Amino acid sequence: MSSLKNDRFIKALLGEAVDRTPVWVMRQAGRYLPEYRQIREKAGSFMNLCQSPELACEVTLQPLERYPLDAAILFSDILTIPDAMGLGLYFIEGEGPKFKRPVTSEADIEKLTVPDPGVELKYVIDAVSLIRKELDGRVPLIGFTGSPWTIATYMVEGGSAKYFSNTKALMYDRPDLMHKLLQKNTDAIVAYLNAQVEAGAQALMIFDTWGGMLTTRDYQDFSLAYMQQILDRVTRQSEESKVPIVLFTKGGGQWLEMMAASGCDAIGLDWTIDIGTARKRVGDKVALQGNMDPCVLYASPERIKEEVAAILKDFGHGSGHVFNLGHGIHPGVNPDHMGALIDAVKELSPQYHQ
């Protein structure tokens, strides 16, 4: 594999000096791009797109053709693992993910088995290898997973949910069963992430989209404890270099100190917290990734630039910041506004690294 020509992203995650703040955007390959919508239509379904290593590779690279981004992220979905466990993932346009066979009983949990990433998830691992080859060292490739808790919510609810009633009923009434489910998810994730690293992923991100719906105690016991297990068990070193891991709990602003103590290299921040306050709270313990409100991209390029300036200033001088949105880019955003964001980071951030 060719060595990295642009390692700004990896260095910033490890707190090493860089020339400017690196930038990438969650869901940077996605519906706001006309070229994405074209391939998505050709593929017929979102699942076809995910399951074809060639198409997943093409989509992963699309935003890099348009914008001078500092990282690529594997195009995939956080629900590939439960799909590989046999739950039958499918998508209905506008309704989000669904499972044909959700987990509804003790017996359902007992019979779940940890998938072999080289078999049931081979299409993802093949995509990682192919993307690494096609990237040819231009920028690092980020692999990812959903958190054990977040994946469990979809498995139990059978899809998205407003209040997570079924998942929480299970958690409150049968914590033993919930722990069993979370342990299986964790074992599956560890094998999955190790296989991604082996295939060439140069950094990893854990998306804990729904950890923020928990009480502080339950977040520690049912989400963070399992993410910590992942951080302990995943190989953090490839043949070439360290593989930093970013932990992102949406709505986790109250728990930054706990997250920083988990052993992750960086915390992903949503937009509700000032990044300067976050930096004061975690010190040099971890890097920070984020955290512009994705809705700023609906405003004018001038306004976008102002907001980028405010966030860079709020973080202040020195390394340890990866610029990103605080959540995935929204489908209706004008691609030129994404360009304005990237340009602003490139133009305004070098002064903080002198």
Residues tagged active-site? 27, 31, 40, 77, 154
> Tokens for 115?
């998938």
**352 forms part of the interface with a second copy (CB under 8 A):** no
Residue 305 binding a second copy, by CB under 8 A: no
Q: Pick from 70, 76, 89: which is nearest to 141 by CA? A: 70
Is residue 330 within the footprint of a second copy (CB under 8 A)?
A: yes
Instruction: Single out the residue of 46, 91, 123, 298 in contact with a second copy (rule: CB under 8 A).
Output: 298
Judged by CB, which is closer to a second copy: 249, or 262? 249
Q: What percent of the residues of the chain are helix, what percent strand, and what percent coil, each to the nearest 5?
A: 50, 15, 35
Distance CA 141, CA 240 (A): 13
Q: Kindly give the pairing relationship between strand 141-146 and strand 266-268.
A: unpaired
Minimum CB distance to a second copy, residue 225 (Å): 17
Among 86, 102, 137, 251, binds a second copy (CB under 8 A): 251
Helix (H) or strand (E) holding 96: strand 96-99
Can residue 271 be called a binding residue for a second copy (CB under 8 A)? yes
CA dihedral 235, 237, 242, 247 (to 10 degrees): 0
Q: Which residue in the set 64, 78, 81, 296 belongs to the binding site for a second copy (CB under 8 A)?
A: 296
CB 99 within 8 A of CB 54: no
Contact status: 26 vs a second copy (CB under 8 A): no
User: Contact between 143 and a second copy (CB under 8 A)?
Assistant: no
Task: Count Cα atoms within 13 angstroms, Cβ side, for 288.
Answer: 30
Of the candidate residues 2, 38, 216, 235, the single one contacting a second copy (CB under 8 A) = 216
Q: Does 300 bind a second copy (CB under 8 A)?
A: yes
Number of Cβ within 10 Å of residue 260's Cβ equals 20
**Which of 302, 303, 272 is closest to 290 using CA atoms?**
272
Q: Which stretch binds a second copy (CB under 8 A): 30-38, 116-124, 131-139, 266-274?
A: 266-274
Tell me which residues touch a second copy (CB under 8 A): 163-165, 168-169, 172-173, 212-219, 251, 253-254, 271-274, 277, 293-296, 298-300, 303, 307, 310, 330, 332
